[in-house]
Amino acid sequence: MQLSLLPQDDGVTIRVEEKRLDAAVAMAFKDKVRSLVAHGGARITLDLSPVDFMDSSGLGAVIAIFKSMPAGRSLVLAGLSPNVERVFRLTRMDKVMTIIPGPQAVDHSRPTWHDRER
């Protein structure tokens, strides 16, 4: 599971550097993001722009992260591809979670930290 951590003024952006968020990586994804959330700020932005495919396991991992957010912190999803956006829309999770448009909404010009655990 490859992630990039991008510090922001109001928190942190976690960019998922994978094409697929499915059963093969969902557990590692969920565990790693949860550990990063513990060190983030008030707003955690999950940049999913590289993700082209998400199955129910990937969706479940995102929901588990959302439900485990500490009080006073928010989770924002950014850069959903049409296929990933469709998963959120069909499950009506787009009504529950905050989703912002494309990756241009996320500042990628700041220093990054990469995690390449697999």
The pLDDT of residue 31 is 94
Q: What is the pLDDT of residue 103?
A: 54
How high is the pLDDT of residue 112? Answer: 43
Could you tell me the domains of the chain? 2-116 (3.30.750.24)
Please, what's the b/e burial string for 62-90 (b: 16 or more CB within 10 A of its CB; e: otherwise)? Answer: bebbbeeeeeeeebbbbbbbeebbebbee
* Euclidean distance between CA atoms 81 and 44, whole angstroms: 19
> pLDDT truncated to tens, each residue of the chain (118 aa)?
899 988 888 889 999 999 999 999 999 999 999 988 877 788 999 999 999 999 999 999 999 999 999 888 999 999 999 999 999 999 999 999 999 986 544 444 444 444 444 4
CA 34 to chain centre: 10
Instruction: Please give the helix or strand (H or E) that residue 21 lies within, else none.
Output: strand 20-21
